[in-house]
Each structure stands twice: as C-alpha cells, then as structure tokens.
Amino acid sequence: MIVYGALLSPFVRKVCVALEEKGMAYQLATANPGGDDPAFREASPLGKIPALRDGDYTLADSTAIVVYADAKQPQPALLPAEPRARGKAMWFDEWADTVLVASGGKVLFNRLVAPKLLKLPFDEAVALQGEAELPRHWAYLEGVVPDDGWLVGDFSLADIAVASAMRSLTYVGHGPSAAYPRTLAWYNRVAARPSWQAVARAEAPVAERLRTPTGVIETA
C-alpha cells in the first residue's frame, strides 16, 4: 500500500500509526497538500493529505482510510465493536480532526507551515486566536482522559487521532504539558507503543529539520 502525504500532518500520522498497529505494510510517498502528481491526485480528489493506494483501489481522508484498513484486516481492531465504545471512538476522532486541529492548525500554519515551509503569507493574529482557543480543548481532554489505559476501552482510533493531532502541535510549542497531567500520562502511554515509535522514527528527520540548533522550535 502507498500512503501519500507528509508526517507533519496529524492526519497522515494517524493513518501511519493505524497501519503500524495492524502490521500492514505501506510506503509513505511524499506528497504535499495541493500537489499535482497525477498518481496522488487520482487518490486524493481534493488534493488533501493523506490518500491511499492499495492496488487498483484509491481512497482519501484519514478516517476513511482507517475504516478501510480496519475492515480489510480486522485484528487488532481499531474501531471498537461495542456500540457505545464505537460511537465514542468516532467522537474523539471527529473532535481531534475538526476541533483540536482547527485551533491548533491556526498556530501551526501561521507560525510554521506558511512562513517556514511554504513561504506563504501568514497572520500572527490568527495564530494568537488559535492559541487562545487551545486551553478550552486541553481542559476538556483532561476531564475525559482515563487515569490508566485508553480513551475508549482498548487502544483505538480515538487514541491515535487525538495523540496525532497533539504531536503536530509540539512543533509550535503546544504539545502535551505538565499543566494537564492526566493527558500527559495518557499521551506518553500512546507514544510508548511500538506503532508510534516506528512512525516517530520516520518523522525524526522532519522534526530535526524544523528545530533550531538550540532545540527550540523555530517559529516566525
């Protein structure tokens, strides 16, 4: 299987961690949002990352891809079978993708992606707005994250999606913090999984390039 994308993206990371959990072989083919490579565009009609190619089958959208992978190879399950747990897993996935990424993305795009990577215009006021929104999301998460174990019963898409979104925010100094200790402990449990470690190794060169020599994330 081919995953098109780049690991700075929380959505690409989500797919890669899910495939690692399942032991499904894949190659990461570098693609940037809006990229014009025909093979990528065939898989991603909207030009967004990630997209998947599995033989003659193509699919876009991180959640759709994880649902496909889970159906194709049911074990280990990433979508709980029990109805309430399944519903909650989809809720956390949606919350991560649309709520957390919406706020965090304002910071990430305007302090890192636009000024440093794409050399595009950026707006510090929007970054500040995203920054102001984040504490409300962290407070919510701290209130629902368990003292031990995972967000919804067994390890699932919920954990992968939320932690993947958080990981992208580490690049702009808004990753998990001691101010939210239950969240931090849960995040560290996710990050200790072999699947996460494998993706982190692939992401290491990306992370390295984005750091200043002092180890501080360089922002605009």
Ligand X SMILES: N[C@@H](CCC(=O)N[C@@H](CS)C(=O)NCC(=O)O)C(=O)O
Question: Using CB under 6 A as the criterion, which residues of the chain lie in contact with ligand X when the complex forms?
Answer: 9, 11, 33-34, 47-50, 61-63, 97
CB of 178 to ligand X, least distance (A): 27
Nearer to ligand X, 7 or 145 (CB): 7
Helix runs in 5-123, H state only: 10-22, 38-43, 62-72, 83-94, 101-108
Phi-psi region of 122 (alpha: psi -120 to 50; beta: other; left: phi over 0): beta
Q: C-alpha dihedral over 171, 156, 137, 14, to 10 degrees?
A: 30
CB of 63 to ligand X, least distance (A): 5
Which residue matches tokens 């949002």? Answer: 33
Burial class (CB in 10 A: 0-12, 13-18, 19+), 198: middle
Nearer to ligand X, 34 or 173 (CB): 34
CB of 117 to ligand X, least distance (A): 12
Which residue matches tokens 């067994």? Answer: 154
Nearer to ligand X, 63 or 183 (CB): 63
Degrees, nearest 5: CA angle 6-10-11: 80
* CA–CA separation, 136 and 155 (whole Å): 25
CB of 149 to ligand X, least distance (A): 25
Nearer to ligand X, 51 or 151 (CB): 51
CB of 44 to ligand X, least distance (A): 8
Nearer to ligand X, 62 or 183 (CB): 62
